[in-house]
Structure 1
Amino acid sequence: MKSISIKATKRPVVGKKEAKRLRLEGLVPGVLYGGEEPIHFQAPEKEFKSLIYTPNVYLVNLDIDGTVYQSIIQDAQFHPVEEQLMHVDFLQTSDDKMVKVEIPVKTEGFAKGIRKGGKLKLNLRTLKVKALVKHLPDTININVDDLDLGQSYKVGSLQRENLEFLNAKAVPVVTIMITRAARAAKVGKG
């Protein structure tokens, strides 16, 4: 799994007034959970750009006043109107602790159904998984070569070593939709 580093400093004062003051200075308040006690910190908003505005999932090396904590982002809150990052929550990870995270889905191959005029539909862009940090992949790759018209891969049919899928088993991840052109070609042959 890819990693990214963020430099931050501890927040001596917490509360709404202090958080508002920080935001005016271009800083984002945040909290690191999962350790003995939550650690309140602040970091420049630009530190989060490559972490927040991407479909990728990163392991974050959160450097708070010189101490580095391995973590993953749990939640990011934005201003309801502007695109300003308001608050960030991180979860401290360790090699022996399971984490839940959403991993992007990536399709590969050329489905039989597409050759017959069908259309690939990605129903889930991410899958929620539970695993140890060392087993988390960058993406969940699904080979669609064998899918024909009207067929799909459901969450329950996906098997990955050391990963537990948390989405409902009956939900289709990727489907080959039957288009009007494919239906007309099928009727014309039959």
Structure 2
Amino acid sequence: MKTVVIEGQLRTGTGKKAARDLRSEGKVLGVIYGGKEEVHFTAPVLSFRSLVYTPEFQIAEIKVDGKSYRCILKDKQFDVVTDALNHVDFLELVEGRQVVANLPLRFVGQSVGVKAGGRLVIKMKTLKVRTMPEHLIEGIEVDITDLQLNGNIRVEDVKQENMEFMNPARQPIASVVMTRALRQAETEEKKGK
């Protein structure tokens, strides 16, 4: 799995003024929780680019004052006016303790319904899972080869070992809908009979 390394410094000052000063220096405030202690740190805004602005699921290795923390990104906050990254929350991966993460879905195969003239509609891009840190993967593959016209693939249809899905089981992930041209062709065929 891809790992992004972020070099940070321990944050000493707290409060709005200290946070504003750090942001004006081009730094992002961050916190690591879920381990033995909460770690408040700052790092340059550019070091978060490959982690925040991607749809991929990645592990972050954050180095703060000689210590290294393996984490996953939990939350990010942006400035409402400038849309600049303001704050990042990380969850430390601890051996033997389950984590909840949003893993991206990767659709493989060509649907039978699409070949028959339908259109594939993706309804979900990620699945929320609970698993042990060692079972985290970059993405969950969903085979859509057998997806029929007007059919759905639901959360319960996805099979992945060592993971518990937190989404409702009957929630649709993808479906193949009839296109307007296909509907018109069917209507004209019925009129012709």
Q: TM-score, structure 1 length as denominator?
A: 0.95
- 8 Å Cα contact 1:56-1:104 kept in structure 2: yes
Partner of 1:133: 133
Q: CA deviation at 1:95?
A: 2.5
Identity %, equivalent residues: 38
* 1:60-114 residue CA offsets vs partner (Å, 9 max, x unmatched): 1110012101111111100012121111111111231111111111111111111
Distance 1:32 1:169 in 2: 31
Distance 2:93 2:157 in 1: 29
Q: Note the residue ranges of structure 2 that are not aligned, 5 or more in a row.
A: none
1:100-115 map, 5 Å: 100-115=100-115
- 8 Å Cα contact 1:14-1:40 kept in structure 2: no
Q: TM-score, structure 2 length as denominator?
A: 0.94
Distance 2:137 2:165 in 1: 13
Partner of 2:121: 121
Q: CA deviation at 1:183?
A: 2.4
Q: How many residues align?
A: 190
Partner of 1:58: 58
Q: Write out the 4+ residue segments of structure 1 that deviate beyond 4 Å after TM superposition.
A: none
Q: Note the residue ranges of structure 1 that are not aligned, 5 or more in a row.
A: none
Partner of 2:12: 12
Q: CA deviation at 1:57?
A: 1.2
* 1:33-52 residue CA offsets vs partner (Å, 9 max, x unmatched): 11222111000000000000
Distance 2:186 2:103 in 1: 36
- 8 Å Cα contact 1:30-1:41 kept in structure 2: yes
Q: CA deviation at 1:185?
A: 3.7
